[in-house]
Amino acid sequence: MSAVDRQLEELHETITEAVPADISVTEVKYEGPELVVYTRDPKRFARNGDLIRDLASQLRKRITVRPDPAVLSRPDKAREAVMRVIPDEAGVTDLDFHEDTGEVVIEAEKPGLVIGRHGSTLREIAQEAGWTPEVVRTPPIESSTVSNVRNFLKQQREERRDILERVGRQIHREKMSDEEWVRITTLGCSREVGRAAFILSTPETRILVDAGDKPGSDDVPYLQVPEALGAGATNIDAVVLTHAHLDHSALVPLLFKYGYDGPIYTTEPTRDLMGLLTLDYLDVAAKEGRTPPYDSEMVREAINHTIPLEYGDVTDIAPDIKLTLHNAGHILGSSISHFHIGDGLYNVAFSGDIHYEDTRLFNGAVNDFPRVETLVLESTYGGRNDYQTDQADAEAHLKEVINETVEQDGKVLIPAFAVGRSQEIMLVLEEAMRKGEIPEMPIHLDGMIWEATAIHTTYPEYLRDDLRDRIFHDDKNPFLAEQFNQVDGGEDERQDIADGDPAIILSTSGMVTGGPIMSWLEHLGPDPKSTMVFVGYQAQGTLGRRIQSGWDEIPISSGGGRSERLSLEVDVETVDGFSGHADRQGLEDFVKTMNPRPEKILCVHGDERSTQELSSALYHKYDIRTFAPKNLETFRFV
Amino acid sequence: MSAVDRQLEELHETITEAVPADISVTEVKYEGPELVVYTRDPKRFARNGDLIRDLASQLRKRITVRPDPAVLSRPDKAREAVMRVIPDEAGVTDLDFHEDTGEVVIEAEKPGLVIGRHGSTLREIAQEAGWTPEVVRTPPIESSTVSNVRNFLKQQREERRDILERVGRQIHREKMSDEEWVRITTLGCSREVGRAAFILSTPETRILVDAGDKPGSDDVPYLQVPEALGAGATNIDAVVLTHAHLDHSALVPLLFKYGYDGPIYTTEPTRDLMGLLTLDYLDVAAKEGRTPPYDSEMVREAINHTIPLEYGDVTDIAPDIKLTLHNAGHILGSSISHFHIGDGLYNVAFSGDIHYEDTRLFNGAVNDFPRVETLVLESTYGGRNDYQTDQADAEAHLKEVINETVEQDGKVLIPAFAVGRSQEIMLVLEEAMRKGEIPEMPIHLDGMIWEATAIHTTYPEYLRDDLRDRIFHDDKNPFLAEQFNQVDGGEDERQDIADGDPAIILSTSGMVTGGPIMSWLEHLGPDPKSTMVFVGYQAQGTLGRRIQSGWDEIPISSGGGRSERLSLEVDVETVDGFSGHADRQGLEDFVKTMNPRPEKILCVHGDERSTQELSSALYHKYDIRTFAPKNLETFRFV
Ligand SMILES: [Zn+2]
Ligand SMILES: [Zn+2]
Ligand SMILES: [Zn+2]
Ligand SMILES: [Zn+2]
Ligand SMILES: [Zn+2]
């Protein structure tokens, strides 16, 4: 009998003893980080109010109780019982019964009403129906990504349970080593922005944090060194993804092509956004005639291996490591990944990308932890002079530009990233129109912006408190404002818009490197009354950067491999201050107010100058041991 | 056809074109770093004086020419021809004909006379006999180690040729990566003395430098991390052994138990000493009731996989790495390992253990290189105050102690390491007696000292110039002085010596942790007229350290697991200054006069204080970037 089986047998005995005599426990098994308890008496289990919570705290494990398949009521019976308990106002849109696990997945417009106060309604459902309820939100705006992911996972339930059981047994395996050390290896993203990838390793465990690409370059992280996949795909125990931006996520599906078969820990919105962005990444590669490094099947593998965590959940992901994700304030679902290693041995936090101040979309990054000895900190704006306009000034500037353009009867064209900056601008524009600071006019959303917005509204828990509350009420949901129009009529619609009255257009890609913005350039580029407004960072080598720096003639593909030149007459403006990254001040404030203050900081995710200047400043101001690592180095802690 | 086969075919063609038309080339293959050329016309080949040298420089390879087996003359005929050419004074003691390769191994007392001026006699042998001659020295003092190793390698010729061919093909494999980087990973020996083990890695190649144990501890190097054997035994391309001390070599045979099957590059005397010391290491473990980590079969594997290099040989050991060993002045065959990486990309030198000044036994360490960007430097005596008595003072002190002891009719007992310090002391004593500075009396050598001395005399090329010359003449060989007596009569002989006239006894182990010194303690420990003299470093926790620091009662095993206490009446003295390691001044001088001066230095092989103080001093004095790494860190260069 393996050590895990012995452990499960002991847990089975302990639980049997802990529950009342009239509750039978038929099986106990691991599924990912959770302990699943099967019972022939699910209703009695549910009736004993605090039983599960008490068990969880006694065993220090996350516990799910499921009915033994032998005692399941018929789904039609159960459906009636479930619907009897849930109030009508919850707006149930789907019920999905899984006889293999005795779970019923309830999709509802108002999940809170299905859960009830402290989970009381959920318990009542279990008690009445004898099935284990699980709740998801009906997207307030239809999202094909969300529904594709959910349908896919529905089809994959059996394979997924196998994966989860295997992962669960891995997590709870016996410790093999008596030694104690903690190391971080930089596989990318050091003295550069992009190709984020780090290995956190102990004698027991190796965790890969992120696996991204490098925008404007073919460089990929050093995944093939022995510290990572060079020692075989099973050398990596788990992947943790801080957020969905491609410079962190693009190569995650590739891991599965290399034979990786373990879990990905991340938030639910990051999982969905990763799906959206990596599929688009493959699409763009194909359109540009490059061979994509993997195919869409690998994206599905990645989704199937994802174990979603909520902010604040403390989760065992290895015999010696607990992971907790915290809000990073950067994009939807972005997280700071906090690792607690050993029994109080050491704590490491990877910032991922952070925004320290609150924005309209998100609460500012969390910098309060039980313990952190080493922080791996992004340094995008870590340079000595990387201070940004504050958001109020940025918004005023944007409104001014819009008003001037409208006065001369022009249109406003804003290239924007689908995820994050677009939604931030949408919120600014919606409020400005509501308050009469800019005239009411249509705001056209082109590219993936609308889809990304839909994903945002599916996960309001991840948005800033007051925005979340507004989304919960349809009539106050700012993204449902009637000005917003998704451009879904192709070139005809764009032509109509270009020929029409003043309007604002938000279109991808954010750095004018492809996508519908190219078409908008043709429509509006020659129009001296219109304005093109850059609201995000334009990387070296992109067309956006060229236009921003004054080029007035640009190449435009005219089909058939030929290209023409387009003269730009449009007014070009740059509005600073909408970045999703903390600026130099924000980074310093993050560290200054961090609780507890870390002993060591590795400055990464910035160019050589930014990482070194930030490293040096943090050392001198806060007397912390700081480093600006190079790629392929290993730092030992403990 | 593989890339290596294609390469060999091209070499075959090139060589055929380069040699005169009447010389046939039947086969060309790699054996380790050498290119072996088979010919049906070995005599004509030999007659064309500079042909081999010209080919070697044209192809930039080490070349060996061998007769095609089909054209070999009969061994008895060849024997006559060989003996006709070699002058009688060469003192040939054995001729060994290998029909598989057409080589004749000539063992002679004066190898120089078999080689001739610039190899002229060797060429003449080949020319007359049609066999390829190889010369080894007849040990001037019989060494069972040397003869065991030579006999073993004789039996293993076929397997060894297979190994060499496989290694040769590995070395000359096609480069697989376009990337360029150089890294060093510390697997041990960082902020500690012992368990030396480093990985030098490039995108193409991973070299393990040393694999030792840690005296007075069970700690072993971190060989199981993915950077080393955790990624599989084939992850390591080659092992380089700086010298035979167990803190560098003890675990080299273990690698073969773990599945390693590649080459070990080191000097010939280090190979033999490694055999001697690791077999003794297994012996000691068995005697102390510990399970040895491997058995003697693995020591033979290690010897069979060793490719001996001479100081100064520039040798391809991987597609992107050339290795050159240089004298380190520390013990017989000890080397500084210099790696030239890529085509002028980067150069790294590992000092191993060094002694910078000349000693009686060895020339001082080489510190002159074509290029070195990074130096990995031992720091045993790197501490701020680690200055040692100079050798002249140390010798005077030793002679004074001896004279005082003799005057009171006592005996002098010196615990000493078999390899290195013993021979140094032997030279001091022999000279002192010859010059009348101390009285003539027997010098008894107990334990492995005599055997180690025999190995020293087998390789006089590795000794200090003037000592080498003296060994070449039997009547001047100091190790053959009549005072020296190998104790081979066991306890009876020891009792006789203890009961007899004044004498000096050198006995292992050097730190009084076992071996015959324990018996000598019983004989002489209670004798107030005798003196025990420590001439080497006594580590914390050893009995030697306790006696040195004044213990006057020590436990002595009395057989059957019982132990008694022995009262020490013997006089205890410590004579500093015979260390095999550079002291703080020597380390500074090594760096100060190093040519060229390195850009970076990693200070290792010293305790935390020593490495940090040396690191700091070298930084401040010479403005070199210095580090005191921890174990399990990786540094990136380039
Ligand atoms: Zn990001
Ligand atoms: Zn990023
Ligand atoms: Zn033979
Ligand atoms: Zn040594
Ligand atoms: Zn050493």
Nearest ligand atom owner, CA of A189 = 2
User: Which residue numbers of A have CB closer than 8 Å to B's CBs?
Assistant: 181, 183, 185, 201, 206, 225-228, 230-232, 235, 630-636
Q: Is the pLDDT of residue A558 over 70?
A: no
Find chain B residues with C-beta within 8 A of A635's C-beta: 633
B235 vs A226: CB contact, 8 Å cut-off?
yes
- Cβ atoms within 10 A of the Cβ of A301, count? 21
| Cβ-contact B79, B97 below 8 angstroms | yes
How many angstroms does the Cα of residue B334 sit away from the middle of ligand 4? 8
- Which of A199, A633, A638 would best serve as a mutation to test chain B binding (most B beta carbons within 10 A)? A633
A633 vs B632: CB contact, 8 Å cut-off?
no
pLDDT confidence of residue B172: 93
Q: Is the pLDDT of residue B475 over 80?
A: no
Find chain A residues with C-beta within 8 A of B183's C-beta: 632-633
DSSP letters for B458-478 = H-GGGS-HHHHHHHHSGGG-G
- Residue A466 marked in a binding site: no
Q: Which residue has the tokens 């859960």?
A: A115
- Which of B634, B635, B637, B638 would best serve as a mutation to test chain A binding (most A beta carbons within 10 A)? B634
Which residues partner with A338 through β-bridges? A324, A349
Q: Is the pLDDT of residue B533 over 80?
A: yes
B634 vs A632: CB contact, 8 Å cut-off?
yes
| Residue of chain B nearest A206, judged by CA positions | B226
| Cβ-contact B195, B214 below 8 angstroms | yes
- A324, amino acid identity: T
DSSP letters for A402-443 = HHHHHHTT--EEEE--TTTHHHHHHHHHHHHHHTTSS----E
B230 vs A230: CB contact, 8 Å cut-off?
no
pLDDT tens figures, B236-265: 999 999 999 999 999 999 999 999 999 999
pLDDT tens figures, A140-163: 899 999 999 999 999 999 999 999
Residue of higher predicted confidence among B367 and A559: B367
Nearest ligand atom owner, CA of B420 = 4
- Residue A248 marked in a binding site: yes
DSSP letters for A196-246 = --EEEE-SS-EEEE-----TTS-----TTSTTTGGG-GGG--EEE----SH
Mean pLDDT of B537-560: 83
| Residue of chain A nearest B632, judged by CA positions | A636
- What would the two tokens of residue B364 be? 């001082």
Q: How far, in Å, CA of A380 to CA of B75, rounded? A: 76
pLDDT tens figures, B99-139: 888 999 999 999 999 999 988 999 999 999 999 999 999 99
pLDDT confidence of residue A617: 97
Nearest ligand atom owner, CA of B102 = 3
pLDDT tens figures, A358-414: 999 999 999 999 999 999 999 999 999 999 888 899 999 999 999 999 999 999 999
Question: How far, in whole angstroms, is CA A383 from its chain's centroid?
Answer: 26
Of the pLDDT bands very low, low, confident and very high (cuts 50, 70, 90), residue A560 is low
Q: Is the pLDDT of residue B585 over 90?
A: yes
Of the pLDDT bands very low, low, confident and very high (cuts 50, 70, 90), residue B560 is low
| Residue of chain A nearest B224, judged by CA positions | A203
Question: How far, in whole angstroms, is CA B601 from its chain's centroid?
Answer: 24
pLDDT confidence of residue B542: 85
- Residue B247 marked in a binding site: yes
- Which of B225, B602, B633 would best serve as a mutation to test chain A binding (most A beta carbons within 10 A)? B225
pLDDT confidence of residue A439: 97
| Residue of chain A nearest B228, judged by CA positions | A226
Dihedral-angle region of residue B119 (phi above 0 means left; psi in -120 to 50 means alpha; beta otherwise): left
Find chain A residues with C-beta within 8 A of B235's C-beta: 226, 230-231
CA distance B232 to chain A (A): 7
Find chain A residues with C-beta within 8 A of B636's C-beta: 630-633
Choose among A201, A631, A634: nearest Cβ to B185: A634
- What would the two tokens of residue A10 be? 């002991």
A634 vs B633: CB contact, 8 Å cut-off?
yes
Of the pLDDT bands very low, low, confident and very high (cuts 50, 70, 90), residue B48 is confident
How many angstroms does the Cα of residue A277 sit away from the middle of ligand 1? 12
How many angstroms does the Cα of residue A314 sit away from the middle of ligand 1? 23
Q: What is the set of domains in chain A, with CATH numbers?
A: 3-157 (3.30.300.20), 181-385+581-637 (3.60.15.10), 391-574 (3.40.50.10890)
Of the pLDDT bands very low, low, confident and very high (cuts 50, 70, 90), residue B420 is confident
Q: Is the pLDDT of residue B203 over 70?
A: yes
Mean pLDDT of A262-271: 98
pLDDT tens figures, B484-501: 999 999 999 999 999 999
How many angstroms does the Cα of residue A262 sit away from the middle of ligand 2? 24
- Residue B353 marked in a binding site: yes
Q: Where are the beta strands (DSSP E) in B21-91?
A: 25-31, 34-39, 62-67
pLDDT confidence of residue B557: 73
Question: What is the edge-to-edge ordering of all strands in the sheet holding B34-39?
Answer: B25-31, B34-39, B62-67
- What would the two tokens of residue B136 be? 């080894």
End-to-end CA distance of chain B: 35
How many angstroms does the Cα of residue B247 sit away from the middle of ligand 4? 7
Of the pLDDT bands very low, low, confident and very high (cuts 50, 70, 90), residue A561 is low
Q: Is the pLDDT of residue A227 over 90?
A: yes
Find chain B residues with C-beta within 8 A of A201's C-beta: 225
Of the pLDDT bands very low, low, confident and very high (cuts 50, 70, 90), residue B562 is low
Q: Is the pLDDT of residue B561 over 80?
A: no
Mapped onto helix, strand or coil, the DSSP state of residue B31 is strand
- Which of B190, B202, B207, B630 would best serve as a mutation to test chain A binding (most A beta carbons within 10 A)? B630
pLDDT tens figures, A21-39: 999 999 999 999 999 999 9
Nearest ligand atom owner, CA of B579 = 4
Of the pLDDT bands very low, low, confident and very high (cuts 50, 70, 90), residue B392 is very high
pLDDT confidence of residue B289: 86
CA distance A232 to chain B (A): 7
- ipTM, two decimals, is 0.82
Q: Which range, of B435-439, B511-515, B554-558, averages the lowest pLDDT? A: B554-558
Q: How far, in Å, CA of B299 to CA of B255, rounded? A: 10
How many angstroms does the Cα of residue B102 sit away from the middle of ligand 4? 39
Find chain A residues with C-beta within 8 A of B181's C-beta: 632
CA distances B35 to B30, B98, B169, Å, are 5, 19, 10
Of the pLDDT bands very low, low, confident and very high (cuts 50, 70, 90), residue B218 is confident
pLDDT tens figures, A499-538: 999 999 999 989 898 889 999 999 999 999 999 999 988 8
DSSP letters for A96-153 = EEETTTTEEEEEES-HHHHH-GGGHHHHHHHHHHSSEEEEEEPPSS--HHHHHHHHHH
CA distance A406 to chain B (A): 53
pLDDT confidence of residue A118: 86
Q: Is the pLDDT of residue A238 over 80?
A: yes
| Residue of chain B nearest A205, judged by CA positions | B225
pLDDT confidence of residue A540: 73
Mean pLDDT of A555-559: 72
Choose among B181, B201, B631: nearest Cβ to A636: B631
Q: Which residues surround ligand 1, an ion (CB under 5 A)?
A: A 245, 353
Nearest ligand atom owner, CA of A379 = 2
Nearest ligand atom owner, CA of B354 = 4
Find chain B residues with C-beta within 8 A of A219's C-beta: none
Choose among B225, B231, B636: nearest Cβ to A631: B636
Of the pLDDT bands very low, low, confident and very high (cuts 50, 70, 90), residue B405 is very high
User: Which residue numbers of B have CB closer than 8 Å to A's CBs?
Assistant: 181, 183, 185, 201, 206, 225-228, 230-232, 235, 630-636
Q: Is the pLDDT of residue B505 over 90?
A: yes
